[in-house]
């Protein structure tokens, strides 16, 4: 079974802090994704990566950056956390082209105070 | 870019009833249409998908229909059970970039 793990289920940070959200997948998938999930807004793509050291902006990249130094690991970075970044963050991975199944992690509930 | 609209946002049914969730999309190049189910406390999981060369696909109690001319597709769940209660997301893939998701439908199945 494909497994996508995220470093924390719950995280509480203060405004202005630098926040790292880590995601690891164990199926050698080329593609990895970071989504943000908010009530009524569905899943919004922040960034995705189709290869090591490659990244593409999604629909809402402002205030976020990413890092993919190894194929299995994709990190989401909030350089200076703000209260409007309080949300559920979901990581996913997939093989090959965009018309393949995305496997999601359990999510990280981030609260910024 | 692609725009996906999903209705309804909330759907309540009695156990044993059928449930239908509908999505419309804007990009006629879209050729792949998956449906994901998100249970409480978990990430979304693919439950069924359909490609543009097929009009309908079934898997036990769930089915998806696609009307490419009208640019809409639907998820049908028959004989609903309490464990079907979840948030359901439709998505499309236009052949470039990545999936575009709808905003989700919360399905509540009452015993």
A5-9, A75-79, A93-97, B107-111 — which is least confidently predicted?
A93-97
pLDDT of residue A99: 80
Q: Which residue of A has its CA nearest to B47?
A: A101
- Which of A33, A42, A101 is facing B103, going by the closest CB pair? A42
pLDDT in tens, B42-65: 999 999 999 988 899 999 999 999
- Which of B31, B42, B104 is facing A106, going by the closest CB pair? B42
pLDDT band, very low/low/confident/very high, at A9 (cuts 50, 70, 90):
very high
Q: How far apart are CA A39 and CA B4, in angstroms?
A: 16
Report the share of chain A in percent with pLDDT over 90: 92
Q: Is A79 on the interface with B (CB under 8 A)?
A: no
Q: How far apart are CA B19 and CA B21, in angstroms?
A: 7
Is residue A1 predicted with pLDDT exceeding 80? no
Is residue A97 predicted with pLDDT exceeding 80? no
pLDDT of residue A93: 96
- Which of A42, A99, A101 is facing B101, going by the closest CB pair? A42
Taking CB atoms and an 8 Å cutoff, what residues of chain A touch B49?
101
Chain B residues with CB within 8 Å of chain A CB? 6, 9, 31-32, 34, 36, 41-46, 49, 51, 89, 93, 95-99, 101-104
- Which of A40, A99, A104 is facing B45, going by the closest CB pair? A104
Residues in chain A: 113
Interface mutation vs chain A, best among B35, B43, B87, most A CBs within 10 Å: B43
- Choose among B21, B74, B34: nearest CA to B66: B74
Q: Is A43 on the interface with B (CB under 8 A)?
A: yes
Instruction: Write out residues in chain B with pLDDT < 70, as ranges.
Output: none
Mean pLDDT of chain A: 95
HSE at residue B15, side-chain half, CA atoms within 13 A, is: 5
Is residue A87 predicted with pLDDT exceeding 70? yes
The alpha carbon of residue A52 is apart from the nearest alpha carbon of chain B, in Å, by 17
pLDDT of residue A43: 95
Residues in chain B: 111
Mean pLDDT of A84-104: 93
Q: How far apart are CA B57 and CA B55, in angstroms?
A: 7
Is residue A102 predicted with pLDDT exceeding 90? yes
Cβ separation B99–A42 shorter than 8 A: no
Taking CB atoms and an 8 Å cutoff, what residues of chain B touch A42?
6, 89, 101-104
- Choose among B2, B50, B56: nearest CA to B25: B2
pLDDT of residue A2: 64
Mean pLDDT of A5-11: 95
pLDDT of residue B16: 98
Q: SS3 string of chain B?
A: CCCEEEECCEEEEECCCCEEEEEEECCCCCCEEEEEEECCCCCCEEEEEEECCCCEEEECCEEEEEECCCCEEEEEECCCCHHHCEEEEEEEECCCCCCEECCCEEEEEEC
Q: Using CA atoms of A68, A70, A110, A89 in order, give the dihedral in degrees to the nearest 10.
A: 70
pLDDT in tens, A25-74: 999 999 999 999 999 999 999 999 999 989 999 999 999 999 999 999 99
């Amino acid at each position: 079974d494909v497994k996508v793990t995220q470093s924390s289920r719950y995280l509480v940070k203060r405004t202005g802090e630098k926040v790292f959200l880590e995601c690891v997948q164990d199926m050698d998938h080329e593609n990895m994704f970071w989504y943000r999930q908010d009530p009524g807004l569905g899943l919004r793509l922040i960034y995705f990566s189709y290869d090591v050291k490659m990244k593409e902006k999604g629909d809402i990249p402002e205030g976020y950056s990413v890092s993919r130094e190894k194929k299995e690991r994709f990190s989401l970075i909030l350089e200076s956390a703000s209260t409007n970044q309080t949300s559920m963050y979901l990581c996913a991975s997939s093989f090959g082209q965009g018309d393949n199944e995305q496997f999601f992690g359990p999510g990280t509930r981030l609260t910024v105070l | 870019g692609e725009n996906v609209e999903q209705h309804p946002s909330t759907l309540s049914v009695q156990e044993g009833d059928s449930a239908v969730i509908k999505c419309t999309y804007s990009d006629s190049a879209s050729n792949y249409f998956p449906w994901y189910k998100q249970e409480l406390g978990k990430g979304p999981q693919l439950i069924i998908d359909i490609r543009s060369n097929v009009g309908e696909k079934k898997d036990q109690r769930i089915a998806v229909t696609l009307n490419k001319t009208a640019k809409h597709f639907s998820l049908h769940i028959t004989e609903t059970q309490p464990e079907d209660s979840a948030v359901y997301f439709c998505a499309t893939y236009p052949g470039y970039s990545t999936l575009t998701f709808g905003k989700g439908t919360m399905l509540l199945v009452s015993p």
